[in-house]
Each structure stands twice: as C-alpha cells, then as structure tokens.
A and B are shown apart, each in its own frame.
Chain A
Amino acid sequence: MTGRRLLLPLAAALLALPWGVGGYVTYLLTLTFIYALVAIGMNLLTGLAGQISLGHAAFFAIGAYATGLLTQRGLLPFPLALLAAALLSTGIGALAALPALRLRNLYLAIATLGFGTVVQKALFEWRGLTGGGAGLELAPPHIAGLVLNNGRALYYVALAVLALGLWCAGNVARMRTGRAMLMLRDSEIAAGTLGIGIARFRVAAFALSTFYAAIAGGLYAYLVRYINPESFGLGLSISFLGMVVVGGLGSRAGPVLGAVFFVLLPEAFRGIKDAPGLVFGLALVLAMIFLPRGLAGIAPRSWRLT
C-alpha cells in the first residue's frame, strides 16, 4: 500500500515538473518515459514469458519510421499513425519471429539479433522511403488541430501513454495471459498439460512487447524530430534488455526504474571529465552485484507484478 500512497504525490510532481525545469531536462524525462514504455513491453517478454530479445531496437525503429512517414505524408493524424505503426510493427514482428518463436532463450536472442540487423540495414538501403543514411526530418506533430511544437506537449503525451502502458501491462500480468506466460517461463510441460497453448502465448508475449516498442518508437520520432538508421542499432537493443534486467525482471516498477537508470544516470555523470561511460559501466556492474533482483528489489512489495 506504500506504493498507492506515493502515487498521488508522484503524479502531481510529474505533471508539474516541466514547468519547473529547463527544456533539456524535460527532453530527458520524455526520453525516459519513451524508453520505459519499451522496457515495460520487454518485461512482459523477458520478465514474464522468459524470452530474450536482442532485436527490439528494430521494432522501435519501425514504429518511429512508420509513424513519421504516415504523418509526414498526410496519410494519418499523429495518434492514428502511432497506432497504425505499432500494428504494422507487431505484424512484421510476428511474421519475422514466428519461425524464431520455436526457439528458446539464447537461440531466440541470436535470431532476434539477426532480425534487428536486417531491419537496420533495410532502413539504410531503402532510401526512397526512409531517406537512407541521410535520415528523416519531421515537422512537429498535431493532435486534434493542436500543434505539439514544444517539449512540454510531447512530455505530457508520453507521460499519458506511459501511464496507460503501465496500467495495461499490470492488467495482463495479473490475468490469464500473464499467468500463462509465467507458467511458460518456469515449466512448459506444466503449462501445456493445463491446456495452455505454448506457441500461442509465446507469440502473444512477443507481439505485445513489439507493440510497446513501436508505440515508443513513434513518440521517439517526434521527440527527436530527426531519425536516422544509426540510432537503432544493436547497442539500443542491448540497452532495452539492460533496462529490464537492471530494473528488476517481472516487477511493475522495474522497467521504469531501469529506464531512469539508463537515461538519467549517464547524464548525471556527464560532468566527470573523459570518463562518463566508464562510471556508468561501473554503476551497471555494481547495480547487478548488489541488487540481484534489480532496482525494484528495493521498491515496496505492492509495486511488484508477481
């Protein structure tokens, strides 16, 4: 219940924050929300269903490019483009990953790594659509006639989507699909003999996580307003996985804490001359040694999903 009592002041603080901090901090917080969304989806896949992906930067990228292109070419308004891009990414993910879903653990991780590389390469080469290595520049998006031309507007959009994403993931985790995914993770034969379709729920976990990644990608496109295939490499996929693990696999607050760790901590170390990467890397190692259950391990019990 500690978690519940913290929620209201936390929400108030998050709503007020953009008015008290500068544009750059607002940008960083928005980026944190966006990464947290990816991590929430990854948590369903990795924390609950026990599958590892090293290719989620690709779904993030498809979400970013599809949202950008759909709105830029006037095909769909921003909110619908976001949804359409996410559905597209999920569809591609399901198709590409269907054969891979017969694989497990490290094998799936390597297959998704290959998928991520292919998508990044395709974004480079398909210049007519994506602009290739020159990247894609985007004008500010509109929502219902309102131009979101300042950082605050997108901050609130991202915060709202994050809140919705957290709530939905929490619902899944404590209902039928969540239980099925946890059973798959710990005992496939127990799951199967209870009537849980193994392939079906493995696909569901993967599809849900790609949907989250693509929505986040669409928001990211309009946060940075310039996207380039370079931004969606293996390093980003590994960071997404890192956020879930550092945050605490299978916990509700974990993905958000992990995103905070990956976005804000390096910023805090920027002042350290020559060595911000070194200090961040060290912090990562120490976090894993001293918090084996992740950052959420120090959060109240009521915040945990399982």
Chain B
Amino acid sequence: MSGLAITRLTVRFGGLTAVRDVGFTAAPGRILGLIGPNGAGKSTLLNCISGITRPSAGSIRLDGTELAGLSMHRIAARGIGRVFQHPELVAGFTALDTLRAGCHRDLHYGLLAELFALPAARRQEAAARHRALAALDAIGLAADADRDMALLPYGHRKLVDLARSLMAAPRFLLLDEPVAGLNDAEIDRLADMLRELRDVRGLGIVLVEHNMALVARLCDEVVVLDAGRVIAHDVPQAVLRDRAVMAAYLGEAPADA
C-alpha cells in the first residue's frame, strides 16, 4: 500500500474526457516520468492529485489514504508537494519571503500572538527565516535572498519555486515541466537536485516533461499518456523505443534519446 496509487482515474470537463481510466503507482525513492503530447491530460492528472481539479471517478491513495475529494491544503498537509510550470509570483515577495511562505505549515502560533508579535510568534518566524536562508544557501542563491522574485532570472525563480515546495517537507513531489525555459547548466543543476531528493531524502517524484533526453537519464520509469489514456508504462529505454509512443508524438523522433 506504500506509495501514491492512482486507480481508474477519470476526469471529465463537460463532454470532454481529459483523463480516462488512468492507473499507476508512484513509489517513494523513485522518479516517475509522465510524458505525452500536448493535451494528453498530464497537467490535468497532476491537478487532480493536488486537489486543484476534482476527479469525476477513480481514486488517488497515498499510503492507502484516499486523497480524491480533499481540498488542496489538506492534500498538501498529507505530504504532496507541487511545482508549477511557471512559478506563481506574489507581487512584492522577495526570494526569502517566497521560502518563508513555504514554511506556512510549520508555524503554529495563533492570530493573537501574531497581532501582538508575542515571543512565540517571533521565535517561530526567526526559525522559519533561518530555514529559508539555509535553503537559499543550499541552492546557491543566498545572494538573492532580498531580491524581488519578479526581478530574478527565470532559472533562479524556478529553483526558488522548487525550494519553496520542499520547505513543507513533502513525501511526493509533482513537477510540471521543471526545466522548460532553463539553459543547459541550469538543467544539469536541477537534475542533480532531483536525484539527490530521490536518493538522499527518499522522495517520490512525478515529473511531467517534454525534454526526452532528461526523461531518459533521470526517470526510473515512464508513463505515457495519449488522449487521456495510459498507452505505455515501462523503463525509459523501452518506452522511448515503443512504436505506439512515437506515433502518439506524431512521428516525431525524440531529440537525443
């Protein structure tokens, strides 16, 4: 029962079925790639797991506990982290603010303690600030702490965004095209980070990605979606050689797999 198990998941938007009877299990300590052409239902699937979209049928279980139907923050509280394709900016937030916002669930003081800046609130805020600075340091962006997020280079923003979702110590991390818009050096850095999360922290990672070279070298297994259905589920080398998969990509050969 361990892991993130998706069973017969279906999502309909009016007459359109975006996800149809999808099932697979993501295990802790593994990176599962989720690939497929545009419109295959990859992001919808991630949105379902995060609670942004309600599934029409099927179940999403984390270590046996049903997540489908819970609200976003409860799903997050159970250990599902999410990184969006484009970092969601908050006007005026610095990198440090962004990471402190990620500490939200670790702050337990009440509203009165907050209004009057009581010692409990100050202490916990100081701890959160300390953790946020340490996290920035760990991704090599300590110098960006007090810079406005909107003014950071895109690659830095994506790293901060990833670091933010890690502040809540998730057990599974859902990433939507984490390397889109990054240069080669930044892609390598992000790949190293994800490997470390998998190997050192034992995190389970679900990765939606179009960069096949990255999928091939990073993923332990790959699920291929087409028109809302799973058409393949195997190790990357097998999947990327699969004829049906290539046909789904309209005959496009993967760039350098």
Contacts and interface: CB of A to CB of B under 8 A. Distances in A.
Contacts of B75: 193
Given A168-B115, A187-B90, A195 B52 contact: no
B116 A171 contact: yes
Contacts of B168: 194-195
Interface in A163-205: 168, 171-172, 175-177, 179-180, 182-183, 185-187, 189-198, 204
A176 to B, nearest CB: 5
A72 interface: no
Nearest to B114: A175
Contact of A250 (B92, B102, B116): B92
A306 interface: yes
Given A186-B91, A204-B111, A306-B91, A193 B82 contact: yes
B162 to A, nearest CB: 13
Nearest to A186: B90
B81 interface: yes
B72 A189 contact: yes
Nearest to A192: B72
A182 B104 contact: no
A143 to B, nearest CB: 21
Interface in B69-95: 71-73, 75-77, 80-82, 84, 88-93
A192 B91 contact: no
A197 B75 CA distance: 11
Contacts of A189: 50, 52, 72, 84, 88
A175 B107 CA distance: 10
B118 to A, nearest CB: 9
Nearest to B124: A176
Contacts of A192: 50-52, 71-73, 76
Interface in B24-52: 50-52
Contacts of A250: 91-92
Interface size range of chain B in the complex? 35 or more
Contacts of A176: 104, 107, 109, 114, 121, 125
Interface string A275-306: 00000000000000000000000000000001
A114 to B, nearest CB: 27
Given A183-B101, A187-B88, A177 B72 contact: no
A197 B73 contact: yes
Nearest to B75: A193
Nearest to A184: B90
B97 interface: yes
A189 B121 CA distance: 26
A145 B125 CA distance: 41
Contact of A175 (B80, B82, B121): B121
B111 A193 contact: no
Contacts of A177: 111, 114
Contact of A194 (B76, B109, B115, B117): B76
A88 B111 CA distance: 18
Nearest to B101: A179
A185 B115 CA distance: 20
A16 to B, nearest CB: 28
A197 to B, nearest CB: 5
Given A176-B109, A177-B114, A250-B92, A195 B100 contact: no
B164 interface: yes
A226 B89 CA distance: 48
Contacts of A185: 90
Contact of B165 (A179, A180, A193): A193
B217 interface: no
| A-B complex: 10 closest residue pairs judged by Cβ atoms | A192-B72, A190-B88, A187-B88, A195-B76, A306-B92, A193-B82, A195-B105, A168-B115, A186-B90, A171-B117
5 contacts: A186-B89, A192-B73, A193-B50, A193-B82, A197-B73
Interface of B: 50-52, 71-73, 75-77, 80-82, 84, 88-93, 97, 100-102, 104-105, 107, 109, 111, 114-117, 121, 125, 164-165, 168
